[in-house]
């Protein structure tokens, strides 16, 4: 890959960049905000792009929130948006399961390891599920549980897939259920595989780390449905009728966002320095993906004016 072009402070280059695209796909955490802290100048930057006729779509790997909750967050932070502007990994997973995987009748339930966002989106696509936030699974495992799982008497015979996202109530009981559905032939799916979750200027366990015990015990690798999965890109393209050559992915993480855009053969990828990966990451010879452009922060795009 060629060396990324640095756009910060270069008005002509910024205008050429903006003119090159009709659609911008925005990663959220690390680009627009960090947790609940909105970065300076972000609403104004989105307004600038929109005023130039650009379509802005938010593509997040956070499966703990539904699209509707993202809309609430975006609007609350001063970025007007509606549910049609948001594409999250929980929604992406639900669409994949309902429209592509098409589990057979009698085997069409999903065992969820994850939070309410996954449940909301599965429900919106009419996909039946168990697990998730159900209190039944938020407790210690007992000897009777081991027995019931092993002989199958406490397992739901209709489960045909295990979907794993970030679950803040992960425990042995849930993992044991997940493992035994997999051992009985359920499909193994992951909303996303971000190894870490950035919070409070530090890193915690992400969905990709919560899923590891199941992968280890089952010997299987999940099909990932968030960035950088091209299943998600295909779904985004289908929904928004993208012209990939006129679309740019903006993100902070190389192995999710930038890889997503590069493998999706988008017209460009823009890396910001406000999130998990810094430019040193793509300067290494073994970088997982190299962006085509970079800026210090998203609001540098306003220097185009």
Query: Rule CB under 6 A: which residues touch ligand PLP?
Result: 27-30, 60-62, 64, 166, 194, 197, 206-207
Where are any strands of DSSP class E within the chain?
A: 5-6, 23-26, 33-34, 37-38, 55-60, 86-88, 109-113, 129-131, 159-164, 187-190, 196-199, 202-205, 223-224, 247-251, 268-272, 293-295
What does the alpha-carbon distance between residue 180 and residue 295 come to, in Å, rounded to a whole number? 47
Out of 23, 25, 29, 228, the only residue in the binding site for Ca ion (CB under 5 A) is 29
Residue 197's binding partner out of Ca ion, ligand PLP, none, with CB under 5 to 8 Å set by partner kind? ligand PLP
Residues labelled as active-site residues: 22
What does the alpha-carbon distance between residue 251 and residue 142 come to, in Å, rounded to a whole number? 44
User: Closest CB to Ca ion among 41 and 148?
Assistant: 41
User: Closest CB to ligand PLP among 64 and 299?
Assistant: 64
- Smallest gap from Cβ 207 to ligand PLP, in A, equals 6
Show the CA angle centred on residue 60, arms to residues 8 and 205, nearest 5°.
100
- Smallest gap from Cβ 147 to ligand PLP, in A, equals 34
Residue 61's binding partner out of Ca ion, ligand PLP, none, with CB under 5 to 8 Å set by partner kind? ligand PLP
Contact range with Ca ion by CB under 5 A, out of 24-32, 130-138, 178-186, 217-225: 24-32
Binding status of residue 27 toward Ca ion by CB under 5 A: yes
Residue 206's binding partner out of Ca ion, ligand PLP, none, with CB under 5 to 8 Å set by partner kind? ligand PLP
User: Closest CB to Ca ion among 89 and 120?
Assistant: 89
What does the alpha-carbon distance between residue 107 and residue 66 come to, in Å, rounded to a whole number? 25
- Smallest gap from Cβ 33 to ligand PLP, in A, equals 9
For the record, the structure tokens of 197 come out as 């979750």
Binding status of residue 252 toward Ca ion by CB under 5 A: yes
- Smallest gap from Cβ 47 to ligand PLP, in A, equals 20
Binding status of residue 277 toward Ca ion by CB under 5 A: no
Backbone angles phi, psi at 165, to 5 degrees: -125, -170
Contact range with Ca ion by CB under 5 A, out of 29-37, 100-108, 170-178, 219-227: 29-37
How many residues at the interface with Ca ion, by CB under 5 A?
4
For the record, the structure tokens of 140 come out as 């210690």
Out of 4, 21, 30, 62, the only residue in the binding site for Ca ion (CB under 5 A) is 30
For the record, the structure tokens of 246 come out as 């006129």
What does the alpha-carbon distance between residue 142 and residue 182 come to, in Å, rounded to a whole number? 21
Q: Is the separation of the CB atoms in 208 and 192 below 8 Å?
A: yes
Contact range with Ca ion by CB under 5 A, out of 23-31, 67-75, 171-179, 285-293: 23-31
DSSP letter, residue 39 = P
Q: Is the separation of the CB atoms in 97 and 107 below 8 Å?
A: no
Place of tokens 């044991």: 176
- Smallest gap from Cβ 153 to ligand PLP, in A, equals 34
User: Closest CB to ligand PLP among 122 and 166?
Assistant: 166
User: Closest CB to ligand PLP among 58 and 160?
Assistant: 58
Q: Cβ contacts of residue 49 below 8 Å, gap of 6+? A: 18, 24, 56, 301
Binding status of residue 194 toward Ca ion by CB under 5 A: no
What is the CA 64 to chain-centroid distance, rounded? 10
Residue ranges binding Ca ion (CB under 5 A): 27, 29-30, 252
């Amino acid at each position: 890959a060629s060396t990324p072009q640095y756009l910060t402070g270069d008005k002509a280059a910024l205008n050429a960049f903006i003119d090159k695209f009709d659609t911008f796909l925005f990663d959220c955490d690390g680009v627009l905000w960090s947790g609940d802290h909105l970065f300076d100048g972000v609403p104004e930057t989105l307004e600038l792009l929109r005023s130039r006729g650009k379509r802005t779509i938010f593509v997040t790997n956070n499966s703990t929130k539904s699209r509707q909750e993202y809309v609430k967050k975006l609007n609350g932070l001063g970025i007007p948006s509606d549910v049609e502007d948001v594409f999250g990994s929980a929604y992406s997973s639900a669409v994949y399961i309902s429209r592509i995987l098409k589990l057979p009748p009698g085997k069409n339930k999903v065992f969820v390891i994850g939070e309410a966002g996954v449940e909301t989106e599965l429900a919106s696509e009419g996909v039946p599920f168990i697990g998730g936030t159900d209190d039944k699974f938020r407790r210690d495992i007992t000897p009777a549980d081991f027995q019931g799982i092993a002989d199958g008497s406490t397992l739901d015979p209709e489960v045909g897939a295990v979907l794993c996202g970030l679950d803040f109530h992960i425990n042995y009981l849930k993992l044991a259920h997940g493992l035994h559905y997999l051992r009985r032939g359920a499909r193994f799916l992951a909303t996303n595989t971000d190894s870490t979750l950035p919070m409070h200027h530090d890193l915690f366990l992400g969905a990709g780390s919560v899923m590891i015990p199941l992968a280890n015990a089952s010997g299987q690798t999940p099909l990932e449905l968030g960035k950088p999965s091209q299943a998600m890109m295909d779904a985004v393209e289908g929904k928004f009728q993208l012209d990939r050559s006129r679309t740019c992915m903006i993100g902070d993480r190389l192995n999710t966002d930038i890889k997503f855009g590069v493998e999706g053969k988008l017209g460009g990828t823009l890396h910001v320095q406000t999130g998990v990966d810094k430019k040193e990451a793509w300067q290494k010879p073994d970088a997982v993906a190299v962006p085509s452009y970079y800026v210090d922060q998203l609001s540098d795009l306003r220097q185009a004016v």
